[in-house]
């Protein structure tokens, strides 16, 4: 009996040591093998937005984070540190000029200068100018032209303001101009048309000169272009007689048939001066030579 007891105690001790070994060594290793390994992200740092940022918001550190991306996926000019994105000469935070989506990379072109506010001046392209026109419900495309759209500017001029018979002429002064603002609304995310009083468009220096002259000659109106349409159409001046009665003028009785030379004034806007040209008049037929009378002399 004593031998059996000793053997039982020895077996219990061995089993206890085995259980302790399993609990302390084998089980932790098994659970660790099931835990996925952490792989440190490799690549170049890139500053992105942690949430959607609206037009006109000022940046702060809580809106930004850094991710790692392949070197060939970093946009040109993108910020690589949050401090660089928030850097300003006088400590002011940049303002967002274009809506930025969540996880979208921050680019300098989407931010204003140091401490600046969201303004039309910050959105102008290099070498361009902002020019404002007076418009109303009709001439302003019913208020459907919104910041970011593109328009043509059309001039309608009355050539006979005091005449009994009215004669109008229409010119396309500027084509494919970007709308910067309608009244005081310069938000490119705006989608609510409103009754406009002024429209501010982006034009070149020469185009701004043309518009300043055209505004004194007649009524300017906007023609809204389709999104993405950038072609420049061939649009010569159009007169009243060009589309009334098919553009043909009845010939006077006894007058020779054939096209009649145009004699209405044509406006040429050259930036610094306004010229009027007229078609040359037909030279009057020379009167027949008078032959001296001859008679018999007595």
How high is the pLDDT of residue 246? 54
Q: Are 145 and 205 in contact (CB under 8 A)?
A: no
In the chain, the number of structural domains is 2
Question: Positive or negative CA dihedral for 179, 181, 187, 190?
Answer: negative
Answer yes or no: do 66 and 167 share one domain.
Answer: no
Answer yes or no: do 152 and 105 share one domain.
Answer: no
Answer yes or no: do 54 and 91 share one domain.
Answer: yes
Tell me which of 241, 256, 286 is where a domain ends: 241
How high is the pLDDT of residue 16? 74
CA distance 223 to 240: 19
DSSP codes, 39-64: ----SEEEEEESS-B-TTPBP-GGGE
Inside any domain, residue 22: no
Question: Positive or negative CA dihedral for 186, 192, 198, 203?
Answer: positive
Domain containing 167 equals 121-241
Inside any domain, residue 267: no
Distance of CA 60 to CAs 49, 83, 108, 174, 218, Å?
A: 10, 10, 15, 41, 49
Inside any domain, residue 269: no
CB-count exposure of residue 159 (10 Å: 0-12, 13-18, 19+): middle
Q: Are 155 and 177 in contact (CB under 8 A)?
A: no
Answer yes or no: do 95 and 135 share one domain.
Answer: no
How high is the pLDDT of residue 42? 74
Phi-psi region of 254 (alpha: psi -120 to 50; beta: other; left: phi over 0): left
- Closest C-alpha to 243, from 160, 170, 149: 170
How high is the pLDDT of residue 39? 54
Inside any domain, residue 192: yes
b/e for 93-116, b at 16 or more Cβ within 10 A?
Answer: bbbbbbbbeeeebbbeebbbeeeb
Contacts of 279 (CB under 8 A, 6+ apart): 261, 262, 263
How high is the pLDDT of residue 271? 41
Which CATH number do you get for residue 68? 3.90.1210.10
How high is the pLDDT of residue 113? 60
pLDDT < 70 regions, the chain: 1, 4, 7, 21-23, 26-41, 88-92, 113-120, 122, 186-194, 245-298
Distance of CA 124 to CAs 121, 130, 152, 178, Å?
A: 6, 7, 18, 10
Answer yes or no: do 100 and 207 share one domain.
Answer: no
């Amino acid at each position: 009996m004593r031998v059996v007891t000793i053997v039982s105690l020895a077996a219990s001790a061995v089993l206890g040591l085995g259980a302790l070994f399993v609990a302390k060594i084998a089980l932790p290793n098994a659970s660790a093998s099931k835990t996925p390994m952490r792989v440190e992200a490799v690549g170049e740092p890139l500053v992105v937005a942690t949430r959607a940022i609206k037009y006109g918001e000022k940046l702060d550190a809580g809106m930004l984070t850094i991710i790692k991306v392949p070197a060939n996926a970093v946009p040109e000019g993108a910020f690589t540190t949050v401090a660089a994105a928030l850097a300003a000469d006088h400590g002011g935070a940049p303002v967002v000029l274009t809506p930025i989506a969540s996880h979208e990379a921050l680019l300098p072109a989407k931010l204003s200068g140091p401490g600046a506010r969201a303004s039309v001046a910050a959105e102008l392209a290099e070498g361009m100018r902002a020019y404002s026109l007076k418009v109303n419900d009709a001439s302003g495309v019913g208020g459907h032209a919104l910041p970011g759209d593109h328009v043509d500017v059309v001039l309608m001029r009355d050539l006979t303001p005091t005449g009994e018979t009215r004669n109008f002429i229409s010119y396309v002064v500027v084509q494919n101009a970007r709308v910067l603002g309608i009244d005081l609304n310069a938000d490119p995310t705006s989608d609510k048309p409103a009754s406009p009083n002024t429209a501010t468009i982006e034009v070149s220096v020469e185009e701004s000169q043309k518009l300043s002259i055209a505004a004194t000659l007649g009524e300017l109106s906007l023609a809204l272009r389709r999104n993405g349409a950038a072609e420049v159409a061939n649009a010569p001046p159009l007169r009243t007689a060009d589309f009334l009665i098919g553009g043909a003028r009845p010939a006077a009785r006894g007058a020779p048939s054939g096209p009649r030379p145009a004699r209405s004034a044509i406006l040429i806007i050259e930036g610094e001066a306004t010229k009027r040209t007229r078609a040359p008049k037909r030279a009057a037929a020379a009167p027949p030579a008078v032959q001296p009378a001859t008679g018999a002399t007595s």
